[in-house]
């Protein structure tokens, strides 16, 4: 009986699970933000590259 009471009072496992869930949520948010930022950067660099290419063919 003491073992069960002690087990119910032990909050170490619950704390570890909470930290794991927080870390998972942060990872999901970071991946989402980086994916969005990566797409926008790709579009920006493509635009700059095409503009530079157009300028080089006109002046070259």
Q: What does the pLDDT read at residue 16?
A: 85
In tens, the pLDDT along 2-59 reads 877 776 677 777 788 899 999 999 999 999 999 999 889 999 999 999 988 877 665 5
Cα–Cα separations (whole angstroms), residue 23 to 13, 20, 29, 54: 15, 5, 10, 46
Backbone angles phi, psi at 10, to 5 degrees: -70, 120
Q: What does the pLDDT read at residue 58?
A: 55
């Amino acid at each position: 009986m003491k073992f069960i009471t002690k087990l119910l009072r032990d909050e170490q496992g619950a704390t570890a699970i909470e930290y794991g869930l927080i870390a998972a949520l942060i990872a999901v948010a970071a991946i989402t933000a980086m994916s969005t930022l990566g797409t926008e950067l790709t579009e920006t660099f493509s635009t700059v590259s095409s503009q530079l290419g157009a300028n080089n063919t006109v002046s070259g």
